[in-house]
A and B are shown apart, each in its own frame.
Chain A
Amino acid sequence: MALSSAPAAVDAPIRTEDLRKVYGHGRDAVVAVDGLDLEVTRGEFFGLLGPNGAGKSTTIGMLTTTVVPTSGRAFTAGNDVRRSPAAVKRRIGVVSQSNTLDRSLTVRENLYYHGRFFGVPRRQARRRADALLEQFALVDRADAMVFELSGGLAQRLMIARALVHEPEVLFLDEPTSGIDPQTRINLWGILNDLHRAGQTILLTTHYMEEADRLCDRLVIIDHGRALALGTPQELKRTLGADTVITLTVEGDPAPLVDEARRLEGVRSAEREDDVLRVLAPRAEGVLAKLVSAAAANGLHVRDASSQPPSLETVFLTLTGREYRE
């Protein structure tokens, strides 16, 4: 069997081989992750991008040992997640989607006891807690009980807590879902700083912009499968177009699709409801021709725009459907 020859430990911070997770049995079985192969290198900021229900949290669950894979293998911080879960846990920091702070403790105690759980000696745990309070601007609230914290502060404390024991890999599961834009931008700054300091980070997000801004490389997943993997730039380049032209008309833009495809340089043209989306090397000429073609077909143009391709366009091209955050 091929898998039996796989090593018990690997060097990459994260590696998965044909990783699968199926919940339930028989007719009720739901395939959450379906044959995922990933490899994250040391110091990399890696993103797992996909709409809700794509399998991101299940993947993170398997990599952090709280979800048992149905088949395939996963190695985190060099250890097999199924064979040595405690060794994996010792080397990772996890910021989960929900607020999992210890409500019975103060801000400082959350950091201190977390360090103690991970074998950090008392005095060192205290010093580490103080340093992190400073770094994350939580000094003023050090002795507050955590249930008094606002959402943004709780978030910061969760990240600080995940760093107390200096983990090899930091996992963040949708850290910015449901927080206000200001807090989100602050958080991006914090994550960028950690990345610059050499921290290996795996982030899941359903925000395209976030993945684009933060990640060195990312994998787009949907229905538990990897659709594309690469740097944000590489992924956008795969479209072979430098611009995305979007035309919104009153009525059915179907007749425009063929005309658009005949235009010089156009890579592809698709319609979804009343929107025509055209990938082209440039907007000049093409946009004007599309608008006049619309007029010739008696279609009133409500909106026309051209933009550089985004990860959203990549997702749309790969799946043929809108990305719904």
Chain B
Amino acid sequence: MSDTANTFLALLARDLRVLRRQFGQFLVRTIMQPLLFVFVFAYVFPKIGQGFRGGANGVSFTTVLVPGLIAVAINFQGIQAVALPLVQEFSFSKEIEDRVLAPVPVWMVGFEKIVAGALQSLIAAAVVFPIVYLVHAHGASPTVHIHDVALFVPALLFSCVLAAALGLFIGTVIDPRKITLLFAVVVIPLTFLGCVYYPWARLSPVLWLKYVVLLNPLVYMTEALRASLTPELPHMPVWGFMLALVGGSAGLTLVALRTFSRRVVT
């Protein structure tokens, strides 16, 4: 194996070592939000008779939520796993100064961060799935099945890469002193306007919003998972979200690797 590939794998091994050590933390930050969400909306709400009628054709709200909350977990984890450590490394810990001295081109150090982030997003999706699938009140069970593996696998993988690339981009451009704004300005708007709690197609009554949210990468993740897991619900055409996921992953990766290189080599 080439020296470069060896170094790349060693960088990845280091990140996985750290993930293993901090797996408890990883679980807590991954699980809490979706767990509370399904607990309140899929369990408490039906119990107290405060209902939502989610999708069309009598599809339960929990069915709408499953792909949405998995996409949120992917997106949130990608940003969190890549951007937050990077911001720390750029500001007080300076670890990045040593990492870029690894004997590979600098862009590859950034690329490894995307791969490690995408892996964490994938694990987050796997962890969140049983929770959002299983936690609900009697009679409110979601209808979920992978109806097309050939669609589901690329949809899932590209969602993870897109989220991690977004994380690298944010981590390299945000001013470390303003990191506290990350959630207010980025994560929360992306989540609430990410077609998580409603299918994109049902936004037609608020037409301007239907088009504005197309700027939100999370929309394509939720729609892609919706098309793969809950095809009964209306969703964006496959070519639409796949184009956005693949094109967005490639484009954002290239941009983020550039901003990363510029940040570490002066």
Residues of A within 8 A of B (CB): 23, 61, 64-68, 85-87, 89-90, 92, 94, 96, 98-105, 109, 113, 116-119, 161
Closest B residue to A66 using CB positions: B265
* A105 in contact with B17 (CB, 8 Å): yes
* A113 in contact with B7 (CB, 8 Å): no
B182 at interface by CB-CB < 8 Å: no
* A104 in contact with B98 (CB, 8 Å): no
From the candidates A90, A98, A109, A117, name the one contacting B97 in the complex (CB within 8 A).
A98
Size class of the contact patch on chain B: 20 to 34
* A102 in contact with B98 (CB, 8 Å): yes
B209 at interface by CB-CB < 8 Å: no
CB distance from A93 to the nearest CB of B (A): 9
* A116 in contact with B97 (CB, 8 Å): no
CB distance from B107 to the nearest CB of A (A): 11
Report if A113-B13 is in contact (Cβ < 8 Å); known contacts: A100-B94, A118-B103.
yes
* A90 in contact with B14 (CB, 8 Å): no
Query: Interface code B93-113, partner A: CB below 8 Å = 1, 0 otherwise?
Result: 111111011111110000000
* A113 in contact with B103 (CB, 8 Å): no
Q: How far is the CA of A204 from the CA of B223 in the complex (A)?
A: 56
* B266 in contact with A100 (CB, 8 Å): no
* A101 in contact with B95 (CB, 8 Å): yes
B18 at interface by CB-CB < 8 Å: yes
B21 at interface by CB-CB < 8 Å: yes
Residues of B within 8 A of A (CB): 3-4, 6-7, 10-11, 13-14, 17-18, 21-22, 93-98, 100-106, 264-266
- 13 A-B pairs, CB-CB below 8 angstroms? A65-B101, A66-B266, A68-B265, A86-B4, A98-B97, A100-B97, A102-B14, A102-B95, A104-B22, A116-B10, A117-B7, A117-B11, A119-B7
Q: How far is the CA of A101 from the CA of B103 in the complex (A)?
A: 17
- What 7 A-B pairs are tightest by C-beta distance, nearest first? A90-B103, A116-B10, A100-B98, A89-B103, A104-B18, A98-B94, A117-B102
Contacts of A68 in B (CB 8 A): 265-266
* B94 in contact with A99 (CB, 8 Å): yes
Q: Can you add 9 more A-B contacts, CB < 8 Å, to A61-B266, A66-B266, A105-B17?
A: A23-B266, A89-B102, A96-B94, A98-B97, A100-B94, A101-B98, A113-B13, A117-B103, A118-B102
Q: How far is the CA of A23 from the CA of B265 in the complex (A)?
A: 12
* A66 in contact with B94 (CB, 8 Å): no
Contacts of A118 in B (CB 8 A): 7, 102-103
CB distance from B242 to the nearest CB of A (A): 35
